[in-house]
Structure 1
Amino acid sequence: MRKYLAVFLLIIAVFSFATTRIKDIATFRGARDNQLFGVGIVVGLNGTGDSGNVSSQLLTNVLRTFNITINPNDFKSRNAALVMVVADIPPFYKEGMRLDVVVASIGDAKSLEGGVLLQTPLYGADGNVYAVAQGNVSLGGANVKVSANLQTKNRIVGYIPNGAIVEREIPFEFVNANTVTLLISKPDFTTAARVAEAINRTFERRIAKAIDGATVKIEVPSAFEDDVVTFLALVEEIEVTVDMPARVVVNERTGTVVFGGNVKILDFTLSYGVFNITVRNGKVVADKETEATVANLINALKSLGASPQDIIAILQTMHKAGVLLADLVVM
């Protein structure tokens, strides 16, 4: 008995004419996350910790602060593990606010399950301590893989929700010489120019100028010199039309095709197996004529019974032939 495998093609089209808030596509220079890191020790492990002497030496150093002196050679246990502790601190976080932290084993520990991280200072790139982490390590369901007869779990990476307390605010400066700078998340000259135009139109004066595809400089109006936060909030809410470069992304493994905007194609004639389609005078000629776009071409191929693999192979050949007016990214 023949068996047929049904494969479905997922098509996602993102159109460039939708408007969005500046807040969703750009950030103000100076207002960014910072990475923190530190080296600590997790205790309370049930014989699944490190086998070396490093964790024992660290524990003896900790005990020494409590006036308890123990020879590291006499204090060997697999109930502790040396770990790296990392966290991201968002902008504007103040003293006393909490951060989530990630804990990862450095040595040969088999599992951090049930462990407790001892107080660990977290450093910034400048070498200063900005937070202190401590708490119960949770493994959660990270990286669980299930097969017919096997279930494994990554047990040497854990998490501590709200496990770090901010001890020092990271200094920042987003207003310089009475100007602020917007950074476009996905640099594009057209989008940057539209952002500057939208800001100028909203405030009815030329206070914004696109410097390049990623940077828009904005002069803070005199009316907002004493209330810059309100001005920035108003700027964030301005809506603009984001421009997207023509791009088609295909995933051969899953049969997924993602394309941004109305991706155009030039005139050509396609002969692929039993499929014959012509694009003439900017129209896809199939059962009915439609505009020559990737979306309409894919719909025509699907109506003729093309499989996801067929469609992906056709798109790749079109790109090589130069009739696909877009970048092609194959995953």
Structure 2
Amino acid sequence: MKKITIFLVLSIFLLLNVFSFSAVRIKDISDFRGARDNQLFGIGLVTGLDGTGDSGEVPSEMLNNMLVNFNINLTSFVETENTALVMVFADIPPFYKEGMRLDVTVAAIGDSDSLENGVLIQTPLYGADNKVYAVAQGPVLTGGTNTRSSSSLQDRYKAVGTIPGGAIIEREIPARIVNENTVTINLKQPDITTSARVANAINSSFSLKIAKAQDPSSVRIEIPEYFQDDVISFLALVEEVEVTPDAKAKIVINERTGTIVLGGNVEIADFTVSYGNFSVSVEKGKISGKPATVANLITALKAAGATPQDIIAIIQSAQPYLYAELVVM
């Protein structure tokens, strides 16, 4: 009886503290443990370049050793400036099968000026276990033509390119998400409150106490007996359960661009600060008659003619009085 009472009290507490955020699907804030991407890489050649390839020298002893490990001998190929030695990268998502395609990123290793209009020669892509999981080949894209019509646009960096769908999977990477009739959800943003809310939402949705928060990042779920022969349907129902995630109040400041991003309604303690021609006072939880929040502080400062740099300086000075984490970029 005591355990049931504690569970009900926790449920009520969690429901009473979700008023300030919108509900989202569990699918959008978490992944199932065991369902993860894997990184692939390889070394290959891009050919068909218009004199923008390598000068013909392997750049380091380390690279030479890598080539030996991959059983690649490029002595006779890198002497032409129409060819470039490249690293090839791809991520293989969970549950991808043989024959499915992956996007590929290609980056010059040597002193090639540009991979534009080049074609990657068939290149095996290896996993961390040194096994081949995919093979990449195809024309390298480096983006559109350079544009000078706006000073805000930057020149393209042509030593890196992409091949959309350029790799074909040759070997599947097994993904095991069920362990002893249980699955575990990993939150993308670990948080104690969110973890507890997820477990509570799942239990409420199925009217069973099958979920338990293990720690701030994971929730363990027992698969009900009537779903043990149809786990995918059960996981689909779990993904659609809605929950209201929690997060620490946070202020992110980008000093280079003068941008301030607020997470939630960040409150401020009483304080007074003098900065240049500005004097700011927060008294009894109010700023000019409004609730003492960072959003209202910024509004008041802008109305008084403060520049983004002024506002950033004042917020940084008031950091000890902010009920939030301040991140400066």
Establish whether TM, by shorter chain, passes 0.5: yes
User: Alpha-carbon deviation of 1:254?
Assistant: 1.6
Instruction: Tell me the TM-score normalized by structure 1.
Output: 0.83
Structure 2 unpaired stretches of 5+? 1-18, 65-73
Contact 2:78–2:85 (CA<8 Å) still a contact in 1? Answer: no
Contact 1:134–1:164 (CA<8 Å) still a contact in 2? Answer: yes
Q: Which 10-residue stretch deviates more, 33-42 or 296-305?
A: 296-305
1:242 to 2:245 alignment: yes
User: Alpha-carbon deviation of 1:114?
Assistant: 2.0
Name the CA distance, whole Å, in 2 between partners of 1:104 and 1:53.
Answer: 17
Q: How does 1:166-315 map to 2 (within 5 A)?
A: 166-284=169-287, 286=288, 289-315=289-315
Contact 1:16–1:244 (CA<8 Å) still a contact in 2? Answer: no
User: Alpha-carbon deviation of 1:151?
Assistant: 7.3
Structure 1 counterpart of 2:38 = 34
Please, which of 17, 21, 25 is the counterpart of residue 21 of structure 2? 17
Structure 1 counterpart of 2:69 = none
Flag the 1:242–1:144 CA change in 2: closer, same or farther, 3 A. farther
Contact 2:77–2:83 (CA<8 Å) still a contact in 1? Answer: no
Contact 1:146–1:152 (CA<8 Å) still a contact in 2? Answer: no
For residue 323 of structure 1, what is the amino acid of its counterpart? Y
Structure 2 counterpart of 1:50 = 54
Flag the 1:118–1:186 CA change in 2: closer, same or farther, 3 A. same
Contact 1:16–1:242 (CA<8 Å) still a contact in 2? Answer: no
For residue 312 of structure 2, what is the amino acid of its counterpart? I
Q: Secondary structure at the match of 1:211?
A: strand
Q: Secondary structure at the match of 1:160?
A: strand
Name the CA distance, whole Å, in 1 between partners of 2:114 and 2:131.
Answer: 30
Contact 1:145–1:153 (CA<8 Å) still a contact in 2? Answer: no
Q: How does 1:122-133 map to 2 (within 5 A)?
A: 122-133=125-136
Q: Secondary structure at the match of 2:215?
A: coil
For residue 21 of structure 2, what is the amino acid of its counterpart? F
Please, which of 89, 109, 113 is the counterpart of residue 112 of structure 2? 109
For residue 322 of structure 2, what is the amino acid of its counterpart? L
Contact 2:56–2:78 (CA<8 Å) still a contact in 1? Answer: no
Name the CA distance, whole Å, in 1 between partners of 2:301 and 2:36.
Answer: 46
Deviations 1:155-208 (A, max 9, x none): 221111111111111111000011101101011101101111101111111111
Flag the 1:234–1:145 CA change in 2: closer, same or farther, 3 A. farther
For residue 256 of structure 1, what is the amino acid of its counterpart? T
User: Alpha-carbon deviation of 1:27?
Assistant: 0.5
Flag the 1:231–1:213 CA change in 2: closer, same or farther, 3 A. same
Structure 2 counterpart of 1:327 = 325
Structure 1 unpaired stretches of 5+? 1-14, 58-70
Name the CA distance, whole Å, in 2 between partners of 1:195 and 1:74.
Answer: 56
Deviations 1:195-247 (A, max 9, x none): 11101111111111111110111111111101111111111111111111011
Instruction: Tell me the TM-score normalized by structure 2.
Output: 0.84
Q: Secondary structure at the match of 2:45?
A: strand
User: Alpha-carbon deviation of 1:82?
Assistant: 1.2
Name the CA distance, whole Å, in 1 between partners of 2:45 and 2:185.
Answer: 41
Q: How does 1:64-79 map to 2 (within 5 A)?
A: 76-79=79-82
Contact 1:47–1:78 (CA<8 Å) still a contact in 2? Answer: yes
For residue 174 of structure 2, what is the amino acid of its counterpart? P
Name the CA distance, whole Å, in 2 between partners of 1:73 and 1:37.
Answer: 23
User: Alpha-carbon deviation of 1:75?
Assistant: 8.9
Name the CA distance, whole Å, in 1 between partners of 2:76 and 2:97.
Answer: 42
Relative contact order higher in (CA < 8 Å, ≥ 6 apart): 1
